Amino acid sequence: MQSLLDAAAAAGEGLPPVEKWNPAHCGTMDMEIRRDGSWWHDGRRITRDRLVRLFSTILRKDDDGVHYLVTPVEKQAVRVEIAPFLAVRVDRAERDGRPVLIFTTNLGDLAEAGPDHPIRVEIDKDTGEPTPFVIIRGRLEALITRPVFYELVDMAQQDGNRLTIESSGETFELGWVA
């Protein structure tokens, strides 16, 4: 499990420094990242995994809430249905006797839940259904898939009528117990 902790700690190394690039906005690209994690361009699904991974490395979400593909010379807005990544796996480890949750995305990114990678859960006001997320890098989130969320709920502690889970010294609320 130590190698997974080391890999999560090194996550983001070697990625382009998109947060430092400030090109002028160049327009909107006909690209969409759908809820199921698929990437589409001009109405066609991008099926080359390496190309999707490449695009994901130059993606960022700015303060305006818009997702952009960014290079040093241009910035193109893209549509994101709910989140650009899916958290498809969670591993539980320990560091200094404390729990650590490590999420893996559909594109192979790792994120250690904690202060820099918080977990949040939106609750639909009409249906009461939870929609859980974890920050992967910058402001980019991963939608936590249903099986992974069920694993989190199974690991959670009940605190009064709240379900909480701890990772890297932070406590995150997953929902309420009726």
Q: Which amino acid is at 165?
A: I
Q: What is the pLDDT of residue 11?
A: 58
In the predicted structure, residue 9 carries a pLDDT above the cut 60:
no
Rounded Cα gap, residues 142 and 134, in angstroms: 5
* pLDDT score of 60 more than 70: yes
pLDDT for 64 beyond 70: yes
pLDDT of residue 4 exceeding 80, the answer is no
Within 10 angstroms of residue 92's Cβ, the number of other Cβ atoms is: 14
Sheet of 44-45, strands arranged across: 44-45, 39-41, 25-33, 75-80, 67-70, 59-61
Domains recognised in the chain with CATH numbers: 2-80 (3.10.540.10), 85-176 (2.30.270.10)
The pLDDT value recorded for residue 26 is: 84
pLDDT at 12: 64
pLDDT classification of 105: cutoffs 50, 70, 90:
very high
Backbone angles phi, psi at 89, to 5 degrees: -155, 145
pTM of the shown model = 0.90
Summary mean pLDDT of the chain = 92
According to DSSP, residue 63 is labeled T
Answer yes or no: is pLDDT of 2 > 80.
no
Residues 91-97: contacts with CB under 8 Å, at least 24 apart: 91/1, 91/4, 92/155, 93/1, 93/2, 93/4, 93/5, 94/1, 95/5, 95/168
Q: For the residues 26-33, what does the mean pLDDT come to?
A: 94
